[in-house]
Copies of this chain bind each other. A is one copy, B any other.
Amino acid sequence: MTQRMSLKKLAAHLGLTEGTVSRALNNYPDISQKTRDRVQQAASELGYRANPLARRLATGIAEAVAYIMPENHSTISEPFVAQLLAGLGETLSERGWDLLVTQSVSAEEEADMLHRLITSGRVSGVVLSRPLKNDARIKLLQKAKFPFIVHGRSVEYQDYAWYDVDSKAAFVAAVDHLVALGHARIGFIGAPTYYNFAQMRLDGYKEAIVNNGLPVDPDLIQITELSDDGGELAAGDLLDRKHAPTAFLCVTDTQAFGALAAIRARGLVPGKHVSVIGYDGLRFSRHTNPPLTTMAQPQAHSGRLLGDMLLAIIDGGDPKDFQVLRSAELMRRKSDGPVWVETSETMSKTWEEQT
């Protein structure tokens, strides 16, 4: 362990040329089996490992992939990035590749950052997350013909690879579920619709409302920020109105946490007086008060899956062949229930007075 082993030293030790040793190690066909074995054994005995930087420069293959973290890290909105990174890292390490993590400061800066990243040669592929409705990053990557995959879908999703959960269908199911419970005034707590996932969930909500013969009431739709506070504010606002909704559908579990808080703060009990359903299926959601009913997305091996798909594309696969849509499932806990029927006594009272 005096000095790091180098190809040159290995070659000298074997009485061979650097080029020959290199080809022997990389299983070139023009090396006899005998010397190949000799070289590989010596390499492992001396603990030789090619310097990745040198190899990458020589081959032009970065042997690394970048994960672009979504912004909004100030909220608890990213409970699964650790899981996703673990999965990604697992796939990559099997190939000996590196996983880079980057994060943009602003949206405009992000395109710039991404451009620098892919032209710098540091990575051979990119995984994007939480795409916008009309995402400049996707356009950029497509134009550059750079391998990438996106976690989620943008509006036009024909031509690139993605992994997503059908949250529109999930919201349809959630609305249907609530309607079946007798709810007719269902509040929607959403996120800015430049996020395509927010748009899709809103679409699902509206579609299902209509299909159930209910009116789409714009007053019942609140767009707010992706945090518990956002959810609390939005739900509170809706609850304080004349015709408060009897149920809430939230775009994320995190917002649903806030909605629960808003309901409790008004002396009502979630799941009894007012229902709320979240989306995500965070492990944590079972601990809320009451335990949150939510549309759980299968996030088990999404990291691995994304990694495998990206590698396949880097290897020359057609991105169009890599589009997988999973579906979410209603995980019923305690925050939903039949619409609260007011008794004759309580009929004329306000919520507050009922406590």
**Using a CB–CB distance below 8 Å, which chain A residues touch chain B?**
4, 49, 51-54, 56-57, 62, 67, 69, 73, 75-76, 78-79, 81-83, 85-86, 89-90, 93, 98-103, 105, 116, 119-122, 228, 257, 260-261, 282-284, 286-290
Contact = CB atoms under 8 A, between A and B. Distances in A.
A320 to B, nearest CB: 25
A98 B89 CA distance: 16
Closest 10 pairs between A and B when the two form their complex, measured CB to CB:
A289-B289, A73-B86, A81-B82, A257-B287, A78-B82, A76-B283, A53-B57, A89-B103, A99-B101, A287-B288
Contacts of A73: 82-83, 86
A74 to B, nearest CB: 8
A228 B287 contact: yes
A52 B121 contact: yes
Given A69-B82, A81-B82, A82-B78, A100 B102 contact: no
Contacts of A54: 57
A85 B103 CA distance: 9
Given A4-B119, A51-B120, 7 more contacts: A57-B57, A73-B86, A89-B101, A98-B102, A288-B288, A288-B289, A289-B289
- What is the count of identical protomers in the complex? 2
A44 to B, nearest CB: 13
A83 B62 CA distance: 27
B284 A257 contact: yes
Given A93-B102, A287-B228, A288-B288, A121 B53 contact: yes
Contacts of A93: 102-103
Contact of A101 (B4, B75, B85, B286): B85
B52 A122 contact: yes
A103 B90 contact: yes
A106 to B, nearest CB: 13
A85 to B, nearest CB: 6
Contacts of A4: 119
Nearest to A288: B287
Contacts of A79: 76, 79, 82
Nearest to A88: B101
Contacts of A289: 287-290
B101 A49 contact: no
Nearest to A289: B289
A122 B53 contact: yes
A116 B49 contact: yes
B102 A99 contact: yes
15 contacts: A49-B116, A49-B120, A53-B53, A69-B82, A73-B83, A76-B79, A76-B283, A78-B82, A81-B81, A85-B101, A99-B102, A260-B287, A261-B287, A287-B288, A288-B289
A5 to B, nearest CB: 9
